[in-house]
């Protein structure tokens, strides 16, 4: 003990603080050296897996140091959960973010000036406010803590542009010490965190990645029914679990299927109302054997120790995101399962999502032109996407690019007014539900039939004595019955272009967008390599995060010990995941050869792996269908608008040559089969 106190001189104070403030008797592995480093005034980078107790590494020093600790956190829900946990322990902490009303924000700023808080949580976007930055500078920051620090790096799996500005914020605030924390960061991401935050000689702690109680399994599935069966089998083993789906639609389908199978499942995704998400999270946390079906919006700040499985119904985009999410299982130290339900068709879906989040130049141009036509666009992203003929995903990504480049600004949120028009059916309608009857009576007493009127939910709530959730449900029933036409409020933020010039004269650097797109595709390839690896999965992950001494055989993954899950009915062999879809039996050998030669040369010139240009499956699809225009090119699985813009002319040239040689296009409704060896081919 004496030797430990000499090597960690602040440990004794930290130990007393641990008992006093948190009621704990001992530190988790790895926490004590980190806390000692922070208390000693060293800049510190902490990489610990989910569940290892990173938050304590800045929360405890915050209480032992004088002054204020400023915590940068990426999600409103995450900072809210942490503040609630701290205040429940009597620790003076708060957050300031966009969820607060003007009066609430003003009151918290008043208390902040009075130094009534020890910890203040903010999102990185808060530093856009010059007045806030000035206030924090005047108060002084004793400890600057950056949570989820992988968001800083362009090479991290969840890059956020505002995080990249934190180095300049830190330079302005000049805190005596800074700590950056993340659950998942490769060595290159760690270096990026240090560089962007302008840290000098930081201590780096990266440890504890191995979770031997987690059994790593990859299950080959052939479609949605087998996914649902596999998830039901996991739930039947008992205990709580989380099932991650790649889209809201997939999550809703999985949730419905599990409920039909009598599984106690809750649904959680970002498209749900705040109250519905809160209830889902509370139900999950309070029940012993609840299953959460969610998108990756779920999980930040979740500290439920008895989660027995985490399943990914679709392949995640990156190993970092995957390992962070499966780390929510088995925090009590007991055995738990991490199951990836793999079908290669999901890789194509993720490729399309990546391309959509890095929109083509034509989408950017169309969005910019639409914004030029109005002083301020206040109809929401959905309407803007309809105007330009692109997906909401692409348009949202385009707006983020313009905002990052300083070309547009977002205004305040909409006022939340509903537009209601009572139809001719209203006076004679007789709804069954009492809440719906009460709402209809109030509307008939207040609004004329056939003429649109506007109102807000709080006003209707006072008139009817119904909750806002009950009102939304009742309005939905009346709308479905044709009794009232409802125009939902615009709850988003208005958009205003800051320059009035054509897109071609707008100085926007798209090279970073294309570089990020290539990198994200590379991260997806590494995740696919994990699914296909013939060797120990645990060794794959530990080596990925830079732990060179990982054992080559672990005994707790399907490669080392065989799968723990029953084979879904109709499933193929589990020896290795196989790509879905029937093989393309007929394709132009000439086009295939020329496409491969062109891809190899271009990849060498661009210094990227060939699969980033087109993977083997897409290349064979092109060689089969021989597209000669944009429409037929985009019909091939794995292409996309951005690839048409960059590679379309050359692809058409090769296909025209093959057609001239007498080769006929072969329509293929399904992607070609890709053998594992071809996925690893580099030319």
Residue 405 confidence (pLDDT): 82
Say if 2-206 and 589-679 have the same CATH topology: no
Contact 361, 508 (CB under 8 A): no
φ, ψ for residue 115, nearest 5 deg: 60, 40
All residues at 6 or more sequence positions from 557 whose CB lies less than 8 Å from its CB, including other chains: 215, 216, 217, 536, 537, 538
Contact by Cβ (8 Å): 135, 115: no
* pLDDT tens column, 83-135: 999 999 999 999 998 888 888 989 999 999 999 999 999 999 899 888 899 99
Which residues are registered as beta bridge partners of 339? 217, 311
CB 374 within 8 A of CB 502: no
Q: What is the DSSP string of 603-649?
A: HHHHTS-GGGT--HHHHHHHHHH---SHHHHHTSTT--HHHHHHHHH
Output the CA–CA distances (angstroms, integers) from residue 89 to 15, 52, 625, in the order listed. Answer: 17, 20, 65
Q: Render 45-79 in DSSP notation, one character per residue.
A: EEE--TTS-TTHHHHHHHHHSSSEEEEE-S-HHHH
Instruction: Report the CATH number of the 589-679 domain.
Output: 1.10.150.80
Cα–Cα dist 225/261, whole Å: 12
Kindly report the number of other CB atoms within 10 A of residue 177's CB atom.
Answer: 22
Residue 53: the pLDDT is 85
Task: Give phi and psi for 418, each to the nearest 5.
Answer: -90, 140
What single-letter DSSP state applies at residue 634?
Answer: H
Q: How far apart are CA 177 and CA 182, in angstroms?
A: 17
Residues of the chain with pLDDT under 70: 1-7, 154-157, 208, 297, 299-302, 411-416, 489-492, 548, 567-585, 667-683
Q: Which two tokens stand for residue 174?
A: 């000049």
Which token pair is 581?
């879809």
Taking the mean position of all CA atoms in its chain, how far away is CA 604?
A: 32
Instruction: Determine the Cα–Cα distance for residues 446 and 72; give it in Å rounded to an integer.
Output: 47
The contacts found for 281-284 with CB under 8 angstroms, 24 or more apart, are 284/240
DSSP helix/strand/coil, 557: strand
Q: Report how far residue 365's alpha carbon sits from residue 178's, in angstroms, rounded to the nearest whole number.
A: 41
CA–CA distance from 128 to each of 122, 154, 165, 407 (Å)? Answer: 12, 20, 10, 15
Output the six-digit token pair for 663: 């080769």
H or E stretch covering 102: helix 102-113
Rounded Cα distance, 205 and 31, in Å = 10
Token pair for 410: 């977002």
- Whether the CB-CB separation of 534 and 410 falls below 8 Å is answered with no
Among 219, 226, 293, residue whose Cα is nearest residue 256: 293
Tell me if 646 sits within 8 A of 612, measured CB to CB.
no
Query: What are the E-state strand segments in 285-386?
Result: 291-294, 307-312, 336-342
**Can you tell me the distance from the alpha carbon of 453 to that of 439, in angstroms, rounded to the nearest whole number?**
15
Please work out, in degrees rounded to the nearest 5, the angle formed at the alpha carbon of residue 343 by the alpha carbons of 227 and 241: 40
Residue 567 and residue 574: Cα distance in Å, rounded? 8
Which residue in the block uniquely carries the two structure tokens 């996925």?
A: 679
User: Scanning the structure block, which residue is given the tokens 């879904």?
Assistant: 568
- pLDDT at site 492: 61
DSSP 194-231: HHHTT-SS-EEEE-----TTEEEEEEE--SHHHHHHHH
Torsion of CA 384, 390, 391, 397, to 10 degrees: -80
Buried b (16+ CB within 10 A) or exposed e, 401-412: bbbbbebbeeee
Residue 412 CA to residue 98 CA, distance in Å, equals 10
CATH architecture of 2-206: 3-Layer(aba) Sandwich (3.40)
Beta-carbon contacts of residue 623 (< 8 Å; ≥ 6 apart): 587, 588, 589, 591, 592, 595, 658
Total length of the chain: 683
Strand partners, 448: none
Put residue 380 in one of left, alpha, beta given phi > 0 → left and psi -120 to 50 → alpha.
left
Looking at the DSSP assignment, which residues form a beta bridge with residue 141? Answer: 68
| pLDDT value for 667 | 59
Calculate the alpha carbon distances from 119 to 44, 79, 382 in Å: 18, 11, 38
Q: Which residues pair with 497 in a beta bridge?
A: 408
Strands 418-422 and 484-487: antiparallel
pLDDT tens for each residue of 1-60: 444 545 678 889 999 999 999 999 999 888 999 999 999 999 999 988 777 788 999 999
Structure tokens at 378: 């206040």
What residue ranges do the domains of the chain occupy? 2-206, 418-487, 589-679
Read off the pLDDT of residues 122-151 as tens digits, 9 standing for 90 and up.
999 899 888 899 999 999 999 999 998 988
Tokens coding 57: 């590494």
| pLDDT for res 112 | 95
For Cα atoms 525, 526, 529, give the angle at the middle one, nearest 5 degrees: 90
Bridge-based pairing of strands 493-497 and 408-413 is antiparallel
- CA end-to-end distance (rounded Å), the chain: 58
Structure tokens at 289: 């054997």
Supply the pLDDT for residue 109.
94
């Amino acid at each position: 003990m004496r030797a430990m106190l000499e090597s960690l001189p602040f440990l004794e104070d930290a130990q007393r603080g641990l008992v006093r403030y948190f009621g704990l008797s001992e530190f988790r592995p790895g926490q004590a050296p980190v806390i000692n480093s922070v208390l000693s005034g060293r800049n510190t980078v902490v990489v610990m897996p989910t569940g290892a107790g990173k938050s304590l590494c800045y929360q405890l020093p915050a209480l032992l140091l004088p002054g204020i600790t400023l915590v940068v956190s990426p999600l409103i829900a995450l900072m809210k959960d942490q503040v609630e946990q701290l205040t429940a322990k009597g620790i003076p902490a708060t957050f300031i973010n966009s969820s607060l009303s003007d009066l609430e924000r003003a009151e918290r700023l008043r208390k902040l000036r009075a130094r009534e808080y020890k910890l203040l949580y903010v999102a990185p976007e808060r530093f856009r406010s010059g007045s806030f930055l000035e206030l924090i500078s005047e108060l002084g920051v004793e400890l600057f803590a950056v949570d989820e620090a992988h968001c800083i790096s362009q090479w991290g799996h969840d890059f956020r542009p505002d995080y990249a500005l934190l180095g300049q914020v830190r330079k302005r605030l000049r805190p005596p010490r800074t700590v950056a924390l993340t659950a998942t960061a490769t060595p290159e991401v760690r270096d990026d965190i240090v560089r962007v935050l302008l840290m000098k000689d930081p201590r780096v702690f990266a440890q504890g990645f191995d979770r031997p109680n987690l059994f790593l399994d990859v299950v080959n599935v052939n479609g949605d029914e087998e996914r649902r069966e596999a998830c039901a089998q996991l739930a039947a083993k008992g205990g709580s679990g989380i099932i991650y789906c790649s889209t809201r639609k997939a999550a809703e389908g999985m949730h419905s299927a599990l409920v039909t199978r009598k599984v106690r499942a809750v649904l959680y995704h970002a498209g749900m109302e705040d109250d519905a998400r809160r209830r889902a999270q509370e139900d999950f946390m309070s029940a012993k054997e609840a299953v959460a079906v969610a998108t990756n919006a779920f999980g930040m700040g979740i500290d439920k120790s008895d989660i027995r499985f985490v399943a990914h119904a679709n392949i995640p985009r990156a190993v970092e995101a995957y390992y962070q999410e499966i780390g929510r299982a088995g925090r009590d130290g007991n055995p738990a399962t991490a199951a990836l339900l793999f079908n290669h068709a999901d890789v194509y879906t993720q490729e399309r999502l990546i391309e959509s989040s890095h929109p083509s130049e034509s989408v950017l141009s169309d969005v910019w032109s639409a914004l030029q036509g109005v002083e301020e666009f206040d109809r929401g992203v959905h309407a803007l996407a309809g105007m330009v003929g692109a997906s909401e995903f692409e348009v949202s990504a385009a707006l983020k690019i313009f905002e990052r480049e300083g070309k547009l600004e977002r205004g305040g949120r909409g006022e939340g007014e509903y537009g209601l028009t009572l139809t001719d059916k209203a006076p004679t309608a007789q709804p069954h539900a009492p809440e719906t009857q009460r709402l209809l009576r109030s509307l008939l007493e207040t609004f004329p039939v056939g003429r649109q009127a506007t109102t807000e939910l709080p006003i209707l709530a006072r008139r009817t004595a119904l909750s806002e959730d009950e009102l939304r449900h009742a309005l939905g029933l009346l709308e479905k019955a044709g009794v009232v036409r409802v125009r939902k409020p615009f709850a988003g933020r208005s958009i205003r272009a800051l320059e009035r010039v054509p897109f071609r004269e707008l100085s926007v650097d798209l090279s970073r967008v294309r570089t990020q797109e290539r990198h994200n595709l590379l991260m997806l390839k590494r995740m696919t390599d994990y699914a296909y690896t013939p060797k120990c999965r645990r060794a794959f992950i530990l080596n990925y995060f830079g732990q060179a001494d990982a054992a080559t055989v672990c005994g707790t993954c399907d490669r080392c010990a065989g799968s723990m899950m029953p084979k879904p009915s109709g499933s193929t062999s589990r020896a290795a995941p196989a790509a879905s879809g029937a093989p393309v039996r007929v394709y132009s050998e000439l086009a295939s050869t020329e496409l491969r030669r062109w891809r190899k040369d271009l990849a060498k010139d661009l210094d990227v792996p060939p699969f980033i240009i087109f993977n083997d499956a897409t290349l064979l699809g092109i060689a089969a269908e021989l597209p000669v225009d944009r429409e037929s090119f985009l019909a091939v699985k794995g292409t996309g608008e951005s690839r048409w813009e960059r590679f379309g002319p050359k692809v058409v040239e090769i296909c025209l040559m093959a057609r001239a040689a007498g080769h006929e296009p072969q329509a293929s409704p399904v992607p070609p089969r890709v053998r594992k060896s071809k996925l690893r081919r580099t030319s």
